[in-house]
Amino acid sequence: MTPTPDTKLPKVGTTIFTVMSQLAIEHGAVNLGQGFPDFDVPARLVDALARAMREGRNQYSPMTGVPALRQAIAEKTERCYGWRPDAESEITVTSGASEAIFDAVHAVVRPGDEVIVLDPCYDCYEPAIELAGGVAVHVPLDPRTFAPDWDAVRRAITPRTRMLMTNTPHNPSGAMLDESDVRALIDLLEGTDIYLLSDEVYEHIVFDGRRHESALRYAELRERAFVVSSFGKTYHCTGWKVGYCIAPPALSAEFRKVHQYNTFCTFTPAQFAFAEMIEAEPEHYEQLGAFYETKRDRFREQLLTTKLQPLPVPGGYFQLVDYSAVSDLDDAAFCRWLTTEKGVVAIPLSPFYGTPPVGQRLARLCFAKNEATLDAAIERLRML
């Protein structure tokens, strides 16, 4: 007989992103669900990748990442945030931001420890916490503005709190922490031994002249933080799965202990390509916000011709819409109906919550798409 496993993740099934993308294929729907661009990777990056492979850079990289890439990350960080991490002891290249999140959690969270997450939160957070033996403590953001209630966060802290996880710009809402939030966070963590995991994968996709308040800007935060970023989001190549984590030397040492027995190292030729791209074309990440702001504005104007109500989007490449004028279905049922009957894929918000708000009627659409893709979706959404 085949033994029946005692699952370590009883609440986990197939991710909503996989489910909805499969439905898109089955029904020929326009996929605005899963967050990946459908336009080209920068030409220089593709050329650099091909050149690296032709030059034989195809074997294991150093466990912490190719030195040229870590140096480029250090220089870019200083350029963006006014502080330069040590490339040798504070930067680790990972196989995507999800691996970095997993490694950071497992580096410091012990069985019974509590980790505060702000709902709605990305769906890989809680499984990483549970696999480490920790307990996710869900604190809700405002259900319309997605701003944190720092008093509620403070009340959630106990002697067992080991880590707090933040995400700015926020997935799924696009909300951003401002300087007052950061000051509140600093005050909250002062005098504690709580670690911060700051998920900043959309760091360069910010709009309306706002500033990304990276934890790396603030000494009081970076001394206790794992800061995670993603090349896939910045360079339109989510399938390459390359990210990195910046953390103080002592935290990086623990992080690397997990990383080396998780993936050990990351796709080598891509690391050389990213190192070249960062140094040769800094204007790419500098202009990324403006690039996506144009898409956001155009998509919002189109949505205003439908029955869907778009919410404000300060950053990231997702647009939340209120579908109350279309349906009373819960969000999971609505998104399935929208895909199978109307031919447009959206992502429900409920999978991002420990306990979804009662009566919330919001869905997430991705506007990191070609104009033709967005136009095709809008044509169908106007028929609602």
The ranges of the chain annotated as CATH 3.40.640.10 are: 43-281
Q: Tokens 């009627």: give the residue.
A: 361
Mean pLDDT over residues 305-321, rounded?
A: 98
Phi, psi of 326, rounded to the nearest 5 degrees = -105, -40
CA 266 to CA 277: how far, in whole Å? 17
Instruction: Give pLDDT, residue 14.
Output: 76
What class, spelled out in words, does domain 43-281 have in CATH? alpha beta
In terms of phi and psi (left: phi > 0; alpha: psi -120 to 50; beta: otherwise), the region of 78 is alpha
Closest CA to 253 of 25, 89, 376: 89
Beta carbons within 10 angstroms of residue 73's beta carbon: 24
- Give the Å distances, CA to CA, from 39 to 368, 369, 370, 374: 8, 7, 6, 12
Mean pLDDT over residues 282-310, rounded?
A: 98
Q: Which fold has domain 16-41+286-381?
A: Aspartate Aminotransferase, domain 1 (3.90.1150)
Q: What are the tokens at 244? A: 């990195």
Instruction: Give pLDDT, residue 249.
Output: 98
CA 60 to CA 254: how far, in whole Å? 21
User: For strand 318-322 and strand 362-366, is the pairing parallel, antiparallel, or unpaired?
Assistant: antiparallel
pLDDT, one tens digit per residue, over 238-294 is 999 999 999 999 999 999 999 999 999 999 999 999 999 999 999 999 999 999 999
| pLDDT above 90 (res 335) | yes
pLDDT band at 143 (very low <50, low <70, confident <90, very high): very high
Q: Tokens 């012990």: give the residue.
A: 110
**DSSP code string of 165-224:** EEESS-TTT-----HHHHHHHHHHHTTS--EEEEE-TTTT-B-TT-----GGG-HHHHTT
| pLDDT above 90 (res 163) | yes
Instruction: Give pLDDT, residue 16.
Output: 83
Mean pLDDT, the chain, integer: 96
Instruction: Give pLDDT, residue 1.
Output: 79
- Give the Å distances, CA to CA, from 290 to 6, 316, 351: 49, 12, 30
CA 224 to CA 190: how far, in whole Å? 10
| pLDDT above 80 (res 13) | no
pLDDT, one tens digit per residue, over 18-68 is 888 888 889 899 999 988 899 999 999 999 999 999 999 999 999 999 999
CA 67 to CA 93: how far, in whole Å? 10
Mean pLDDT over residues 350-363, rounded?
A: 94
The ranges of the chain annotated as CATH 3.90.1150.10 are: 16-41+286-381
Instruction: Give pLDDT, residue 362.
Output: 98
Q: What are the tokens at 107? A: 């580096």
| pLDDT above 90 (res 17) | no
What pTM did the predictor assign? 0.96
Least confident of 32-36, 331-335, 362-366: 32-36
Beta carbons within 10 angstroms of residue 188's beta carbon: 18
Instruction: Give pLDDT, residue 210.
Output: 97
